Amino acid sequence: MTSMMQPQIILLKEGTDTSQGKPQLVSNINACMAVADVVRTTLGPRGMDKLIHDDKGNTTISNDGATIMKLLDIVHPAAKLLVDIAKSQDSEVGDGTTTVVLLAGEFLREAKPFIEDGVHPQNLIRSYRAASNMAIEKVKELAVSIEGKSLDEKRSLLAKCAATTLSSKLIGGEKDFFAKMVVDAVIAIGNDDRLNMIGIKKVPGGTMRDSFLVNGVAFKKTFSYAGFEQQPKKFHNPKILLLNIELELKSEKENAEIRLSDPLQYQSIVDAEWNIIYDKLDKCVKSGAKIVLSRLAIGDLATQYFADRDIFCAGRVAEDDLHRVAAATGGTVQTSVNNVIDEVLGTCDVFEEKQVGNERFNIFSGCPSGQTATIVLRGGADQFIEEAERSLHDAIMIVRRAMKNSTVVAGGGAIDMEISRYLWQHARNIAGKSQLFINAFAKALEVIPRQLCDNAGFDATDVLNKLRQKHALPSGEGSLYGVDINTGGICDSFANFVWEPALVKINAINAATEAACLVLSVDETVKNPKSESAQGDAAGMGRGRGGGMRGRGMRRR
């Protein structure tokens, strides 16, 4: 009786929403499955695109998993995990963002019936982690190295990896054209890790085939003053001076107070300002530079001054463009024009200003250090060019990863089917419940080839049965077979050059398993009540001053 009389203990603030136990876990799983269903149809070469319209009126057309996940304003706390793994896959590897979300969603879908039947989540998590480790070991075992090949062979192998990535994008129709361009750009920057050394400039108009690669730096003509047209627009082996100062006639910025006893002294102050700017310009000319670039403004006086001396100048150059010019030409950005020595000047074989579409571009080519490249993208609509840029970013990341970790695996669902078969076989040797859980993990991996078939309009059941039969051959010769997206049958993915770096698969399986295990390990969600808005604060302030009536009045309003 006394236990019934115990007062209720309140730990959390009034209005706090808590949900726990099995229904909570199933609700989280459902939310993650709903997110995976959003990007499901974007997988593969026949994947559809999503048109996302945000509250600012911007329209984005994309089939890149990470881009879609970022633009979806997901509020469910568990489903946000899938956004995070898509972002991490994008920053770490560049491609496979849709794959990672799909796998995580499918792992949870397979776990759901077990949870509903009362299986403890920790048993599932343990088996999933073990299955993930076995799957990654199998990927490493099946990976084929492209190390030790000649440069030409390596180029063609890397181009195949890039083409596989681009095949599922909007520019998939021109994948061979862009794959070669991407490989040339990545090889041009060598071992430099900085992705911003490859610039991508977008110029509306023309066709995709009008896009071109500059082995050097290209940027849009900056804002210019009168006198600019008189400057020469082409140089051979010029010296290039890079500045981070204004070359403008400036009045004193500070509120300096100068007391004059004689009106003639005012002229000397004006003359001093002119002398300062002329002194700077003289030093630029004496340095021997034929091209002067500055991150800050180069005014009309300086523009005319340089034009009279056959020097090209451009002010307000974007910071990343200026740094790319410095890296390419071997120059150093100066914050002063005093003591400009030859060592800080850059050089290139040819500089010219060219018309590209409606824009004029400054192009530096034949740069000595050559650690930079620029891709100038052309195309009809702005959204199309934006999506092309995102596609090229993925391809560039993939080629960089393939150069560093030079192992590739067969794409087109081949590697997924092979790991699935391996895990099914392994599970037979395990006694107890974990056999079922590893089988569930193996079944979840089949979502990739199944979704590839669904998106292309093929009969997924038929194709998967053919793949299972091929992969089950004892000789192991069927381990490279994946979905043939052109005929609706199966084919040797490796022989057809559908390749992807092993790192993409390893990262995707790892991240998807981690996310699934994290969702499964949550059994309670506590949602704090929304803090009282300014209205409540104002009411509290009124009461604090003893104005109880005023506080109530504000609340009523």
Q: Is residue 556 part of a domain?
A: no
Residue 25: give its domain's CATH number. Answer: 1.10.560.10
Instruction: Quote the CA–CA distance of 267 and 24 in Å, as a whole number.
Output: 81
Which stretches within 42-148 are classed as H helix? 65-71, 80-92, 97-116, 121-142
Q: Is residue 384 part of a domain?
A: yes
As given in the structure block, the two tokens for residue 24 are 């909570």
pLDDT at res. 545: 44
Q: Is the pLDDT of residue 72 over 80?
A: yes
Average pLDDT of the chain, as a whole number: 82
H or E stretch including 163? helix 151-166
Q: Is residue 1 part of a domain?
A: no
pLDDT at res. 303: 87
pLDDT at res. 19: 65
Q: Are residues 189 and 268 in the same domain?
A: no
Q: Are residues 232 and 361 in the same domain?
A: yes
Global confidence as pTM: 0.77
Question: Shortest CA distance to 91 belongs to which of 202, 198, 195?
Answer: 195
For residue 554, what pLDDT band results from cuts at 50, 70 and 90? very low
Instruction: Quote the CA–CA distance of 102 and 36 in Å, as a whole number.
Output: 5
pLDDT at res. 445: 92
Active-site residue, from 394, 416, 454, 484? 394
Question: Shortest CA distance to 237 belongs to which of 330, 99, 115?
Answer: 330
Look at the chain and report how many structural domains it folds into: 3
Pairing of strands 234-236, 239-243: unpaired
261-286: average pLDDT: 82
Q: Is residue 537 part of a domain?
A: no
307-332: average pLDDT: 86
As given in the structure block, the two tokens for residue 216 are 């050097």
pLDDT at res. 14: 61
192 in catalytic set:
no
For residue 11, what pLDDT band results from cuts at 50, 70 and 90? low
Instruction: Quote the CA–CA distance of 238 and 306 in Å, as a whole number.
Output: 15
Contact 293, 243 (CB under 8 A): yes
- Secondary structure (H, E, C), 1-62: CHHHHCCCCCCCCCCCEEEECHHHHHHHHHHHHHHHHHHHHHCCCCCCCEEEECCCCCEEEE
Indicate the residue type of 321. Answer: D
Comparing 331 with 252, the larger pLDDT belongs to 331
Q: Are residues 270 and 199 in the same domain?
A: no
Contact 422, 146 (CB under 8 A): no
Question: Shortest CA distance to 195 belongs to which of 275, 90, 266?
Answer: 90
pLDDT at res. 542: 46
Burial of residue 549 (number of CB atoms within 10 Å: 0-12, 13-18, 19+):
exposed
377-383: average pLDDT: 82
64 in catalytic set:
yes
Q: Is the pLDDT of residue 132 over 90?
A: yes
Q: Are residues 271 and 299 in the same domain?
A: yes
pLDDT at res. 442: 92
195-219: average pLDDT: 84
pLDDT at res. 438: 92
Active-site residue, from 42, 60, 98, 374? 98
Question: Which residues span the domain enclosing 74?
Answer: 17-145+410-524
C-alpha dist (Å) from residue 445 to 36, 69, 122, 251, 419 = 14, 21, 21, 69, 8
Q: Is residue 365 part of a domain?
A: yes
Go through the chain and tell me how many residues it has: 557
As given in the structure block, the two tokens for residue 484 are 């043939």
Q: Which of 63-72, 123-132, 548-557 has the highest mean pLDDT?
A: 123-132
Q: Which of 307-321, 480-494, 534-548 has the least mean pLDDT?
A: 534-548
For residue 246, what pLDDT band results from cuts at 50, 70 and 90? confident
Q: Which of 133-147, 315-329, 391-405 has the least mean pLDDT?
A: 391-405
Active-site residue, from 42, 60, 64, 164? 64
Q: Is residue 532 part of a domain?
A: no
pLDDT at res. 551: 42
Domain final residue pick, 369, 395, 420: 369
Q: Which residues contact 278 (CB under 8 A, 6 or more apart)?
A: 305
pLDDT tens readout for residues 149-181 = 777 777 888 888 888 888 877 777 888 888 888
Q: Is residue 7 part of a domain?
A: no
C-alpha dist (Å) from residue 404 to 163, 183, 187, 401, 503 = 18, 13, 12, 5, 10
Question: Shortest CA distance to 248 belongs to which of 186, 316, 184, 307?
Answer: 316
Q: Which residues contact 370 (CB under 8 A, 6 or more apart)?
A: 188, 190, 215, 216, 328
Instruction: Quote the CA–CA distance of 263 and 253 in Å, as a whole number.
Output: 22
Residue 201: give its domain's CATH number. Answer: 3.30.260.10
Question: Shortest CA distance to 322 belongs to which of 224, 213, 219?
Answer: 219
Q: Are residues 158 and 283 in the same domain?
A: no
Indicate the residue type of 276. Answer: I
Q: Are residues 284 and 365 in the same domain?
A: yes
Q: Are residues 354 and 241 in the same domain?
A: yes
Q: Are residues 32 and 117 in the same domain?
A: yes
Comparing 111 with 192, the larger pLDDT belongs to 111
Q: What percent of the chain has pLDDT over 70?
A: 89
468-486: average pLDDT: 84
pLDDT tens readout for residues 488-519 = 888 888 888 788 888 889 999 999 999 999 99
Q: Are residues 79 and 211 in the same domain?
A: no
Q: Are residues 419 and 519 in the same domain?
A: yes
Rg of the chain's alpha carbons, rounded to an integer? 31
pLDDT at res. 557: 41
pLDDT at res. 513: 93
297-311: average pLDDT: 86
Q: Are residues 186 and 224 in the same domain?
A: no
Q: What percent of the chain has pLDDT over 90?
A: 13
Residue 363: give its domain's CATH number. Answer: 3.50.7.10
Contact 409, 499 (CB under 8 A): yes
Q: Is residue 460 part of a domain?
A: yes
98 in catalytic set:
yes
Active-site residue, from 42, 60, 67, 97? 97
Q: Are residues 24 and 121 in the same domain?
A: yes
Indicate the residue type of 232. Answer: P
Instruction: Quote the CA–CA distance of 371 and 14 in Å, as a whole number.
Output: 61
Q: Which residues contact 383 (CB under 8 A, 6 or more apart)?
A: 59, 60, 61
